[in-house]
Structure 1
């Protein structure tokens, strides 16, 4: 399924998105993940830094959704689809470099906020993130517009 430009723009502008998977007891599990790359053809790449609950859930049930909102414009989207996991040695080095670039931009953003006296966190947590262990590749098969109807 093709991802419209405005949807991709909203997701890539966020520092993270909320990923939802299905837990072993059938309940939803939500986690924050950074999106590395989105392809217009309907593929989304996310890095799994810890290979924890999200990875275990996807091994059992590959259905997943990703949600992002732009609180300033009261808009958001949920992408639904089927995910697959790729191990670190299967990752395209260009995706790792893209992730490093995004982390550098996030750290730069925090430093600028700190200089302005707006820094909300006493440290730069992005600098402490581990090397990614797995890549999550989502094949999007549905897009839900979360923007309230009267605001479209």
Structure 2
């Protein structure tokens, strides 16, 4: 049975930045942004270890991981819970992701190893606006896009962030 649906793939792609949560040896959480998360197949996510020494050290000690991907405009996403496996250059999944990264960014990023996550469980992340406000996705997406646009325009000298409603 496929755990990773087309909608989940779309959210991961539109989010462009996901967050990986691991557990440090002292039991505290480690949350790390990942710009290379992709759905590898119907049961696995994958991301590249580019600058993730703490994440990798934590996964070597405890392979449990959660990855959150949220489309900031749609105000919804998914929590992917699973178990990580470290893949070295030469592994087919590593090469697949590395090829995508090279096409996207060109050379220059150190791709040390890939992290393949076997997804055991997926939970939705939804804004309370859907539950309590009865909002529609298009309405939320348009509203939040306008808010982000206003912030970026203010930073570009086209207004003040304080003016954002």
Which interval holds the TM-score relative to the shorter structure? 0.7 to 0.9
Determine if the alignment matches structure 1 residue 143 to structure 2 residue 139: no
Residue 97 of structure 1 is aligned with which of 76, 96, 99?
Answer: 99
3-state secondary structure, aligned to 1:146: strand
Q: How many residue pairs are counted as aligned between the two chains?
A: 129
What TM-score do the two structures reach when normalised by structure 1? Answer: 0.75
> For residue 22 of structure 1, what is the aligned residue in structure 2?
23
3-state secondary structure, aligned to 1:72: coil
Looking at structure 1, the residues matched to 22 and 117 of structure 2 have their Cα atoms a distance apart, in angstroms, of 12
Alignment of 1:61-80 (within 5 A): 61-80=62-81
Contact 1:4 1:40 in 2 (8 A): no
- Bigger RCO of structures 1 and 2 (CA < 8 A, at least 6 apart): 1
Looking at structure 1, the residues matched to 118 and 96 of structure 2 have their Cα atoms a distance apart, in angstroms, of 19
> For residue 89 of structure 2, what is the aligned residue in structure 1?
88
> For residue 117 of structure 1, what is the aligned residue in structure 2?
none
Contact 1:51 1:133 in 2 (8 A): no
- Report the RMSD for the aligned CA atoms in angstroms: 2.1
3-state secondary structure, aligned to 2:31: strand
Q: CA deviation digits over 1:7-58, x for unaligned, max 9?
A: 1110122222100001111111000112353134211110001350000000
Gaps of 5+ in 2: 137-165
Residue 133 of structure 1 is aligned with which of 109, 112, 131?
Answer: 112
Contact 1:3 1:39 in 2 (8 A): no
Looking at structure 1, the residues matched to 40 and 47 of structure 2 have their Cα atoms a distance apart, in angstroms, of 12
Q: CA deviation at 1:69?
A: 1.2
Q: CA deviation at 1:95?
A: 2.3
